[in-house]
Amino acid sequence: MPVTIQSLSPRSTELELEGFTASQANAVRRTLLADVPKLAIEDVEFHLGPIRDETTGKDYDSSTSMFDEAVALRLGLLPIPTDLSQFRKKSECTCEGAGCPHCQVMFSIDKKGPCTVYAKDVVPLGDATLAILEPDVPIVRLGARQALLAYATAVVGTAREHAKWQVAQGVGLAPRPHVHIQRKEGCTDACLKRTAASCPVNILEFSGGKLSVTDETKCIDCRACVETCEHGSIRIEPDPERFFLKFETDGSLSAREALRFTLKDLKRRFEELREALQAIP
């Protein structure tokens, strides 16, 4: 099953899958959406009571302009860089869920108003490489006598549990369009020229009395050419074994890492299914 990379950047990619059935291609899409693990903040412990600034001696209220639950939700959506070779789910960790450096990461927040608390103020304890990837995301606004002192714990999970663990975003899957050209009776050169000119991505070319496709992979299946040719000389059909797949990530994993995990996870699950079927008497 050849996989052709159309474009690749750290956070996004576009691929062409060849030799896949629709169900196999959709399995890749669904796994990308729901089963790729990452770190996300799960628990937040807020300090209660007054907070004193040791430098100025001023007392601040442990409160913000939002409920604590809303602040915790916003913290949970922040993207954290995740090394899947280092971190694992608590249920799979050797600490048996007690919490250790291999299954959780601690963060602290200590801000006093008036100011805006940003993602860069959510500081990892110990490993600076685990700093939030989008430092300028605003969390909450603090008033003149307000302060936020909290400790947050990030753990590994998947989007099957909560959307904050969703790595891949905007996962799109579409069959590759196949352009069929067969000049019908009554179709004039003028009609074919109009058909070629109607293509918004300029992949149709009329030359020597023939209409041809220069780059079928760029077809967006808008069907402008089909509607322009009144004699039905051109038609577009989806290829049942070739698909375009594109997606982007929130940065917690690169697009390459997310795809690599997806393919390995699918292989593992298919192997388990095959073994289970073979075990049936």
> What is the average per-residue pLDDT within 249-275?
94
Q: How many CB atoms lie within 10 A of CB 182?
A: 10
Residue 103 is inside which H or E element, if any?
none
CA angle in degrees (0–180, nearest 5) for 80-171-198: 135
Residue 201 sits in the same domain as residue 122: no
Residue 158 sits in the same domain as residue 221: no
Is the confidence at residue 202, as pLDDT, over 80?
yes
> What is the average per-residue pLDDT within 179-200?
91
Query: Structurally, how many domains does the chain consist of?
Result: 2
pLDDT, tens digit (0-9, with 9 covering 90-100), for 165-177: 999 999 999 999 9
Tokens 């004039």 correspond to 188
Residue 135 sits in the same domain as residue 83: yes
Residue 19 sits in the same domain as residue 125: no
pLDDT, tens digit (0-9, with 9 covering 90-100), for 208-257: 889 999 998 888 889 999 999 888 899 999 989 999 999 999 999 999 99
β-pair type (3-8, 12-18): antiparallel
Residue 158 sits in the same domain as residue 197: no
Pick the last residue of a domain from 106, 130, 165. 165
The pTM of the full predicted model, rounded to 2 decimals, is 0.84
| Structural domain contains residue 271 | no
Q: Residue 90 belongs to a domain with what CATH number?
A: 2.170.120.12
What pLDDT, on the 0 to 100 scale, is given for residue 116? Answer: 95
Please state, rounded to an integer, the average pLDDT across all residues of the chain: 92
Residue 94 sits in the same domain as residue 156: yes
- Measured CA to CA, the distance from residue 84 to residue 17 in angstroms comes to 25
Residue 218 sits in the same domain as residue 130: no
Pick the last residue of a domain from 165, 187, 205. 165
Residue 117 sits in the same domain as residue 205: no
Report the sign of the C-alpha dihedral through residues 109, 114, 117, 121, in that order: negative
| Structural domain contains residue 222 | yes
Tell me the DSSP string of the chain: --EEEEEE-SSEEEEEEES--HHHHHHHHHHHHHT--EEEEEEEEE--S-EE-TTT--EEBS--SS-HHHHHHHHHTS-----TTT---GGGSTTTTS--TTTEEEEEEEEESSEEEEGGGSEESS-GGGS-S-TT-EEEEE-TTBEEEEEEEEEEE-TTT-GGG--EEEEEEEEEEEEEE-PPTT--HHHHHHHHHH-TT--EEEETTEEEES-GGG-----HHHHH-TT--EEEEEEEEEEEEEEEE-SSS-HHHHHHHHHHHHHHHHHHHHHHHHT--
| Structural domain contains residue 259 | no
Residue 195 sits in the same domain as residue 77: no
Q: What value does the CA radius of gyration of the chain take, rounded to a whole number of Å? A: 27
Pick the last residue of a domain from 165, 200, 215. 165
Q: How many CB atoms lie within 10 A of CB 259?
A: 24
pLDDT, tens digit (0-9, with 9 covering 90-100), for 21-76: 999 999 999 999 999 999 999 999 999 888 888 888 888 999 898 999 999 999 99
Q: Are 112 and 81 within 8 A, CB to CB? A: no
| Structural domain contains residue 45 | yes
Residues in a beta bridge with 244: 16, 174
Give residue 65's domain range: 38-165
Q: Is 175 helix (H, G, I), strand (E, B) or coil?
A: strand
Residue 92 sits in the same domain as residue 161: yes
Q: Residue 206 belongs to a domain with what CATH number?
A: 3.30.1360.10
Residue 132 sits in the same domain as residue 150: yes
> In 3D, which of 221, 204, 224, 222 has the Cα closest to residue 213?
204
Which token pair is 276?
């289970």
> What is the average per-residue pLDDT within 139-143?
95
- Measured CA to CA, the distance from residue 150 to residue 6 in angstroms comes to 44
| Structural domain contains residue 156 | yes
| Structural domain contains residue 254 | no
What pLDDT, on the 0 to 100 scale, is given for residue 209? Answer: 86
- Measured CA to CA, the distance from residue 260 to residue 132 in angstroms comes to 23
